[in-house]
Chains A and B, each alone.
Chain A
Amino acid sequence: MNGFVDNKKLIAADLVKMAELLNDCGLCQDVGPLYDAQGRCMSHSTENEWQYHFEGLKLPIDTMSHTKPVGAVPFDVVLSVELIGRYANPADQANPLIDLKKFNIEVFGLLDIEDINGYASWHLDKDSAGDQKFIHPEYHLTFGGHRIWDKIQNYGQVIILPSPRIAHPPMDAILGIDFILKNFLTKDKHKTLTQNSEYKQIIQHSIHRLWKPYYSFIGSFWAGLGSQSFSNFSIFSIMPSLDTDI
């Protein structure tokens, strides 16, 4: 990343690379959405911001013990992302995303009960601090997806609440795919891909673009800003729990 000016071509290239890697290792049959994202990235991004969106990238999921209800079988985990971001800029560790319109992780599967499908979802959200009733880290992960009531009719004994909103660094498609692979596949299944050096490089790019500003900014709460610029960030928006001075 060093020495390069961040631009939409790099981002689009990473998407395509990820698509190829996923396809080659056999973990994803239909990488079409990533190609769609690449196309949109190239055509909709401007010189000040990059953006893309895609729907329904299907990734495999392993069965795991302690799944409830017993007998439930997950089929696929599906990622849908829509976001607008700022280019990485060494002079300014700005808040990496301008808008995170959608970041949904959905699990589709079968239950042991006839005629009832199984479903679970998480989403990553970016909310402005504003005056929220419940604590709202700017980037947070929540169980339950957008319009989950469209997907689930029968909640069993589970209550799904919009809280807690768990602070989580921002993710793009690349980091989202990594998140899914490592959470929903055994190490054996994904290690060929995730140990691949090209794969690691793509992850690096996204970490640099999204996590470096985020974590550096949080660190600055204790270390001080120094000469670094962190625009579009507000510490109590990112980490409301740090606001101990009531």
Chain B
Amino acid sequence: MEYRYLYIDDWDKKDIAGTISGIEAGGGIKIEHSKPAGDWEREYDRIAQLSFQGVILDLRLQEKAGLDGNYAKYSGAIIAHAIREMAKEKTINEFPLVLFSGNYNLQQFFDKTGEDAFDLRILKEELNNNSAFETLRLKLLALARGYDWINHLNRENPSRAVEQLMGFGYEALEERFRQRMETYINKPTHDIAAFIVRNLLEKEGLLISEQLLAARLGIEINASNDWPKLKLILNDFSYKGVFMEGWSRWWMYNIEHWWDEAIGEGLRLQPTSASKRVDLLKGKLGLDGLVPANKIEKARSDQFWIICQGLKRPLDPIDGLFVSGQENAFPWQSKQYVSHEAAINRISIEDWKDVAASEKDKLDQLKTFYSRERIRR
């Protein structure tokens, strides 16, 4: 079936038609554009009568005139907030809200306030190739479908509900996560959705992304022809819970179990070197096209377990510095590190901002240790 999204943007349809085409190209999503109402009262009434499965909002709605000829004095964030309020009061249904914004700084503002009514926030400039559009399409699909599912979820038995949402055996779920999820079962759908998307899908931890999966198996994706085949073998362990269409994830618990049972020959995954990991995988699975990942500059260990936030490549935490701002992370979430190389050279610093205060001393030591003498050639 097709999911219908309303896209509210003050720009004219002809100017954003391309974006819509790009998203719709894969099918499954239909986007209808509308300018903001202009007058807030009218906007509010309009919202109350929406019959879409999702709403996409542009952040800035004040640049061009709205439907009634007036310039909207409200932003996309205000509309989102109103929608959530109405949903809480059960005036309207629950559906996903997506933010489009062209300004990086404004996005950061949302990060800080924590007041976030959106399930997804997209920077327009990130939509610069067809895979970006495809990814977005899948997420929109996943959100619309997922919201529907959650809306119809039987919430009487919280543990059963959690199991259904996760598509995963209850007992096997990490205890703290389980308990926390259960407390959300009786909250509004958008709160449940937000919790799952932000804390389970968008953060590595119980579920891991493809990139982290490859790192933990010691594999260099780009160089490994048989990576797709390996993923197929691991399909049983992929995430099949709510929103699965939009996020390719795997249960770390299962991956580890599978390794212990079928591959490791007594060797645990984490303390094994990447080359050994790949050797075992090739041997046991008969896949020749697997290549071990390489260490980042200055790293000493190839027992890769995390991804360097600066270079986006596999790293052993022992070779990394703890990134700042993780005090509020949940215990089941995998912590973020930045490699020594990326830390001292500030590579992609916008992505990790700073190392934790307790690591600053080490960073200074590293800078002294690696300071380089210029030799003129």
Contact = CB atoms under 8 A, between A and B. Distances in A.
- A–B touching in complex (CB under 8 Å): yes
Interface of A: 19, 26, 29-32, 35, 38-39, 42-43, 53, 55-56, 58, 60, 73, 75-76, 78, 80, 82, 102, 108, 110, 114, 117, 150-151
Interface of chain B, main secondary structure: loop
B184 interface: no
19 contacts: A19-B331, A29-B358, A30-B322, A30-B335, A31-B331, A35-B331, A35-B332, A53-B268, A55-B268, A56-B316, A56-B317, A58-B317, A60-B358, A78-B318, A110-B366, A110-B369, A114-B370, A117-B300, A151-B300
Contacts of A35: 174, 176, 331-332
A80 B318 CA distance: 12
Contacts of B362: 75
B69 interface: no
A56 B269 CA distance: 12
B331 A43 contact: no
A30 B306 CA distance: 12
B318 A55 contact: no
Nearest to A40: B256
10 interchain residue pairs of minimum CB distance: A55-B270, A30-B335, A29-B322, A110-B369, A35-B331, A55-B271, A73-B365, A117-B300, A75-B362, A108-B318
A39 B335 CA distance: 17
Contacts of A150: 273
A8 B208 CA distance: 27
Contacts of A58: 317-318
B305 interface: yes
Nearest to A23: B331
A56 B216 CA distance: 14
B195 interface: no
Contacts of A38: 175
B356 interface: yes
B334 interface: yes
Given A29-B335, A32-B335, 11 more contacts: A19-B331, A29-B322, A29-B358, A32-B331, A35-B332, A42-B175, A53-B268, A55-B270, A76-B318, A78-B318, A110-B369
A38 B322 CA distance: 23
A42 B175 CA distance: 10
B358 A26 contact: yes
B174 A39 contact: yes
Contacts of B303: 55
Interface in B231-289: 253, 268, 270-271, 273
Interface in B326-373: 326, 331-332, 334-335, 356, 358, 362, 365-366, 369-370
A39 B253 contact: yes
Query: Looking at A32, A58, A60, which has the most chain B CB atoms within 10 Å of its CB?
Result: A32
Contacts of B317: 30, 56, 58
Given A29-B358, A35-B332, A110-B365, A80 B322 contact: no
Contacts of B358: 26, 29, 60
Contacts of A75: 362, 365
Contacts of A30: 317, 322, 335
A196 B111 CA distance: 36
B106 interface: no
B78 to A, nearest CB: 38
